[in-house]
């Protein structure tokens, strides 16, 4: 599959690094974010180029950017009419000149030394990009709480150099652009692109990158602080919007098409069993939430996606790797049983996901798949059913 691809040479000397930051109405956070970038050690790079794209901000972000650019020669500010984060990132990529390329979101920060381990790895291996771990950082009553998602922990449990996606298919779940450093030539030569006007643009671009790479390096170091903001709107409310669901479905469909085109049964199985199901429970909950927009249409779209992506593809959702209660949710959706889904969610909220699954009233339903009937044999990862994913 990759035999004809040329092997990239090792980086000579300390490379230059371009950092692209898209900005839109984040005045409360952007200065702290940019200063965490500018404070990074430069032991492994010869030059830092910070490209900030102001995507038509109206809240004072632009003034903060102009001030920082006047103070710091490494900061370049590009202003454009509001066009969305994908186009803002593309504008930054087009302006980048560094040998290496990375991204930061303007409301997040970097740990003290985010890049050194990844750059050292790329200099040593010649891989197309390096991937580090990320921690979620939340302020709970003035106390900082850090935690790593289960899949992030699994994927970064050990260092893997010159890795290929067939050797580590679960890396397809690492759909974040900001915990990686790419060779800029790799990015541009493979025409990797973020889909525009969607909240879920990273998954398509990162799937392209993993499939196109001759090799990538997986390191164990934490390279990104993923901030959880208490002032963000309810995840359930966002999921209850038709546009949100449509964008999620479209992103999953594009991802499936990319992996199918790669021709690897192993990658497709991992995608359907372990990667794509991860966030579906949020939409199962949203589908029967009181604030759901156009409930009948939402339900029809969601059910159609569940049937298309899993059942019609020969991978029933109940055989995926997510926790049992989530699989039962999906089965109820596939069976067109909205009222029963409402009852199950109420049980989860009252008793917890594990207890709700053990006590649910459809145990003797003849239509229930056996895999959801034998409680002792139903496995599942440690993914949470209540914790909202960032959207």
Per-residue pLDDT of the chain (391 residues; tens, 9 = 90+): 443 344 456 677 899 999 999 999 999 999 999 999 999 999 999 999 999 999 999 999 999 999 999 999 999 999 999 999 999 999 999 999 999 999 999 999 999 999 999 999 999 999 999 999 999 999 888 888 999 999 999 999 999 999 999 999 999 999 999 999 999 999 999 999 999 878 788 999 999 999 999 999 999 999 999 998 765 444 455 788 999 999 999 999 999 999 999 999 999 999 999 999 999 999 999 999 999 999 999 999 999 999 999 999 999 999 999 999 999 999 999 999 999 999 999 999 999 999 999 999 998 999 999 989 865 544 444 333 333 333 2
Q: Are residues 212 and 275 located together in one domain of the fold?
A: no
User: Phi-psi bin for 161: left (phi > 0), alpha (psi -120 to 50), beta?
Assistant: beta
Residue 117 shares a structural domain with residue 174: yes
- 40 in any annotated domain: yes
Domain that holds residue 178: 16-228
171, 194, 228 — which closes off a domain? 228
Does a structural domain hold residue 11?
no
107 shares a domain with 185: yes
Diameter of the chain measured on Cα atoms: 70
HEC sequence for the chain: CCCCCCCCCCCCCCCEEEEEEEECCCCCCHHHHHHHHHCCCCCCCCEEEEEEEECCCCCCHHHHHHHHHHHCCCEEEEECCCCCHHHHHHHHHHHCCCCEEEECCCCCECCCCCCHHHHHHHHHHCCCEEEEEEEEEEEECCEEEEECCHHHHHHCCCCEEEECCCCCHHHHHCCCCCCEEEEHHHHHHCCCCCCCCCCCHHHHHHHHHHHHCCCEEEEEEEEEEEEECCCCCCHHHHHCCHHHHHHHHHHHHHHHHHHHHHCCHHHHHHHHHHHCCCCHHHHHHHHCCCCCCCHHHHHHHHHHHHHHHHHCCCCCHHHCCCCHHHHHHHHHHHCCCHHHHHHHHHHHHHHCHHHHHHHCCCCCCCCCCHHHCCHHHCCCCCCCCCCCCCC
Q: CB within 8 A of 33, min separation 6: which ones?
A: 21, 26, 104, 105, 106, 107, 108, 109
pLDDT computed for residue 391 by the predictor: 29
Q: What is the pLDDT of residue 11?
A: 74
Q: Is residue 2 part of a domain?
A: no
Tell me whether residue 352 is in a domain: yes
Tell me what pLDDT residue 132 has: 98
**Shared domain check, 372 and 321:** yes
pTM of the model: 0.90
Look at residue 5 and tell me if it is in a domain.
Answer: no
Q: Quick check: is 33 in a domain?
A: yes
Whichever domain contains 124, its CATH number is: 3.90.550.10
**Together in a domain, 31 and 179:** yes
Q: Is residue 6 part of a domain?
A: no
96 and 36 housed in the same domain: yes
Of 65, 71, 72, nearest to 25 (Cα)?
A: 65
Q: What is the structure's pLDDT at 13?
A: 83
Q: Among 228, 250, 271, where does a domain finish? A: 228
Q: Are residues 48 and 125 in the same domain?
A: yes
What is the per-residue pLDDT for 44?
96
Q: Is there a single domain that holds both residue 215 and residue 357?
A: no
What is the domain count for the chain? 2
Q: Which of 202, 228, 254 is the last residue of a domain?
A: 228
User: Do 244 and 224 share a domain, yes or no?
Assistant: no
Q: Are residues 175 and 245 in the same domain?
A: no
If asked whether residues 98 and 224 sit together in one domain, one would say yes
Task: Tell whether 61 is covered by a domain.
Answer: yes
Are both 216 and 323 inside the same structural domain?
Answer: no
- pLDDT at residue number 373: 80
């Amino acid at each position: 599959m990759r035999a004809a691809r040329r092997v990239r040479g090792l980086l000579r000397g300390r490379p230059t690094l371009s950092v692209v930051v898209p900005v839109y109405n984040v005045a409360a956070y952007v200065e702290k974010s940019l200063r965490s970038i500018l404070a990074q050690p430069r032991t492994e790079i010869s030059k830092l180029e910070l490209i900030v794209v102001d995507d038509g901000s109206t809240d004072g972000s632009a003034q903060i950017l102009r001030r920082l650019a006047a103070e710091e020669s490494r900061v370049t500010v590009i202003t454009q009419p509001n066009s969305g984060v994908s186009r803002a990132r593309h504008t930054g990529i087009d302006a980048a000149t560094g040998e290496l390329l990375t991204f930061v979101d303007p409301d997040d920060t970097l740990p003290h030394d985010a890049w050194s381990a990844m750059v050292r790895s790329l200099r040593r291996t010649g891989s197309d990009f390096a991937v580090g771990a990320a921690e979620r950082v939340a302020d709970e009553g003035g106390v900082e709480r850090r935690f790593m998602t289960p899949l992030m922990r699994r994927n970064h449990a050990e260092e893997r150099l010159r890795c290929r996606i067939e050797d580590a298919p679960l890396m397809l779940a690492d759909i974040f652009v900001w915990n990686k450093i790419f060779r800029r030539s790799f990015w541009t030569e493979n025409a990797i692109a973020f889909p525009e006007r969607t909240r879920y643009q990273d998954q398509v671009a990162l799937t392209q990158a993993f499939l196109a790479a001759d090799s990538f390096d997986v390191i164990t170091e934490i390279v990104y602080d993923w901030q959880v903001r208490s002032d963000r709107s309810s995840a359930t409310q966002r999921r209850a919007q038709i546009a949100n669901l449509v964008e999620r479905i479209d992103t999953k469909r594009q991802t499936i098409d990319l992996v199918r085109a790669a021709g690897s049964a192993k990658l497709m199985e991992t995608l359907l069993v372990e990667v794509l199901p991860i966030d579906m429970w949020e939409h199962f909950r949203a589908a029967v939430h009181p604030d759901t927009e156009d409930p009948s249409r939402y339900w029809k779209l969601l059910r159609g996606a569940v049937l298309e992506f899993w059942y019609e593809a020969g991978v029933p959702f109940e055989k995926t790797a997510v926790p049992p209660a989530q699989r039962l949710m999906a089965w109820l959706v596939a069976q067109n049983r909205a009222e029963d889904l409402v009852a199950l969610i109420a049980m989860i909220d009252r008793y917890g996901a594990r207890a709700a699954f053990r006590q649910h009233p459809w145990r003797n339903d003849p239509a229930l798949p056996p895999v959801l009937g034998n409680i002792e044999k139903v496995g599942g990862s440690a993914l949470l059913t209540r914790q909202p994913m960032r959207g």
